[in-house]
Amino acid sequence: MNSLKAACLAGASALCIAWLAPAVVEMPSAAASGTAKAANWGRLVSSAKAKGHVSVIVEFAVSGAAKEAVENAIIAEHFGSSANPRPGAGFTRALQRFGVSPMFAVNVSPAELEALAADPRVIRIHANELNRTM
């Protein structure tokens, strides 16, 4: 009976480890996060470095009524106060919130772009630009 109990415990332990293993992964670098979160990551980074900033639309993960709280937390962490974000270094911050969508537009420095890409709450970073229709 003891060997059966030991086998069951070993099996249960193996299942727990297998179930938890995907959660224990190393965070990707900001560059790896950026390429996964922005289809045009290289162009965003080079534009940010050339001009000192780039205008982006930040899309974040949220469910239900938590949109404003998550948005405020991301803005506060990356840009100071969500009510009064700190100015850009040599450029206008120009923060624009979207009423319904879980997104906001903001001008960011190259370092801020990298930090946003590494933020797990940010699911996508879009270039904030007009595109011609075909």
Q: What is the CATH number of the domain that holds 79?
A: 3.30.70
Tally of CA atoms within 13 A in the half-sphere of 133 that contains its CB: 0
Stated as kind and residue range, the H or E segment containing 125 is strand 122-127
Determine the average pLDDT of the residues in 107-133: 92
Q: What is the mean pLDDT of the chain?
A: 78
- pTM, two decimals, is 0.72
Give the C-alpha separation, 8 to 12, whole Å. 6
Q: How confident is the model at residue 11 (pLDDT cuts 50, 70, 90)?
A: very low
Whether 134 is covered by a domain: the verdict is no
Split into its structural domains, the chain has a count of 1
Q: Give exposure, 1-13, as e/b (b: 16+ Cβ within 10 Å).
A: eeeeeeeeeeeee
Whether 102 is covered by a domain: the verdict is yes
Which residues span the domain enclosing 81? 28-127
Give residue-wise pLDDT tens across range 98-108: 988 999 999 99
